[in-house]
Every structure is written in C-alpha cells, then in structure tokens.
Structure 1
C-alpha cells in the first residue's frame, strides 16, 4: 500500500501550524485545520486502519475476533484471508477468483503494488517446494546475534534445564532494563518459528 496514512479520515478536530513559506495576511495567529490524516500524526495509524477495515467489510470480509488485523471471507466452501501490518499485507486462500477480485478492488480504492508470491514478511522468510511451505527466521536470527555480539556462539540442544530459577547475586552488575526488554521482545517473536526456545523465552520474560 502506498501512502497508507494519507487515506485516513480524522474523527477528532486536529490543528497544525501553517507550513513554512506561507505568508500571513494578518498579524493574528493562523493555524490549519486538518481534514485528513498526515504522516507523523499520532491519530494517523488508527484513522488509516479504520478506513481500511470499513472498506474490507464493504467487500464482504469479516474481521477476526482473535486478531483484528486478519480479515476472512468464506464463499462456496472456499476461504480467502487478508492480514495487514501497517501498510503491508498478505492475501492468501484457496479461492483464486476471489483473491484476484480483491486485488483489483483494492487497487481501484488505494494505490497498491503487488510484490508477487510471498518470500519475506516481517522478518519471516517463506520458501515453497513440492513438500509444502517452509518458514524460517534465519536472517532475523543472524541480525539479532550480530546486535548482541554473539555471532560466534555455539548452538545447544537444550537452551535451559527445566524448572531453572533465575536468581540475583550480590556482586551482580545491573542490566540495561530497556535493552533487556527489547531483546526479550525479539525472542518472543522468534519463538513463532522456533518453538524449541519457547520455554527459555518464557523464563527470561
């Protein structure tokens, strides 16, 4: 989706300073009242998603209760699914006719770019073969290891013993809380394709 946030309609009254280069005709303070959302405005993501959800419902799609970014349509025992993350989306399902129609409808309503078959999305690599679909986060892991300086670390079969309890030591150097939380968040996301680390991630989180 191109210029996604510019499609949102604002429900609240929002004002901004006049743009640079605009000449005031009077000495009074002049501001602009926004009719549409702009990039950088805190209301923009919500305004855009509200607009997009409304369009998807108009096309006969139902919003999932478990994940509000997922839209589903059932037709003649076939299903089409669309999942959106800000301005990136995946359209999939077993109804080729409906997928083609949805792509056409969305490209009329919004400025879109079709990137073809799914290869990479939000840090997840997708590969297809005759045996099925394989997903991995290899590049994501390598970037993560590089950021924390552990590129030369060796893998282990069991990252942690069961029922291990984390403790605090008197001579312990306190960790950077923000950095730690950020790292744990990245590990939680990694456990989607690596269920083998789910237990240790739950302990450190």
Structure 2
C-alpha cells in the first residue's frame, strides 16, 4: 500500500507548497508499521533456521492453536517420523542398570531431544 504525507510545517517547499511526500519506509504509529516490523523479523528468524511453531486457525466455532508442524518437524529431525504411539514399553518403577554392552550415544543428541520435548510441552497451547 502506498502512503503519502503532507509537508511538515516549517519544511514546506516554496516552489511546490501543495506537493506531498511518498513514504519509502513505514513510519511508527502508522498501521502498516507493525506489519513491516513483523515481516522483517519473521524473514530474519526464518533465515536463521527458526520456524514458526504455532498454527492459528479461526472458524465459526472459535480460534484454535496447535503445534502440529513443530511436533512433526521434531519427530523427523530425530528420526522418529515413522513411529506409532504405544503405551510405556517397560515395567513401571523397575530399577534401571547400566547396559555394559550397549552402543554409545551422543549425549548432545539426547539432550537436544529432551530439550525439544520440554519446549513442546511447556509452550503447548
């Protein structure tokens, strides 16, 4: 949308007193300023590999918020996209022992998965 501004008092061009200025950038207090700021911030964050995690939809029944996209991207990131939901596959309250013959895992990978799950549960709508 093109926005024009009148010449401010004290800065009127004597040769063209009836001319107006076409704005090249959004100014604060204009309704377009918030949209320009949002678009600039969103494009920067997306370029830094951030993603928009919340989906918001509105219909006659109300406004709905979910994080399906973030949850599915997280499952894919950690290699669980083809898994089906199941009950806890172990006896509850059993003592766990170290697996001496088990394969080693990257602790940062595990920490990343746990952090993702914590973020998902803490930020759920």
Name the TM-score, length of structure 1 as normaliser: 0.33
Please state which structure has a larger fraction of its residues in strand.
Answer: 1
Higher relative contact order (CA 8 A, sep 6+): 2
Name which one, 1 or 2, has greater alpha-carbon Rg: 2
TM-score normalized by structure 2?
0.49
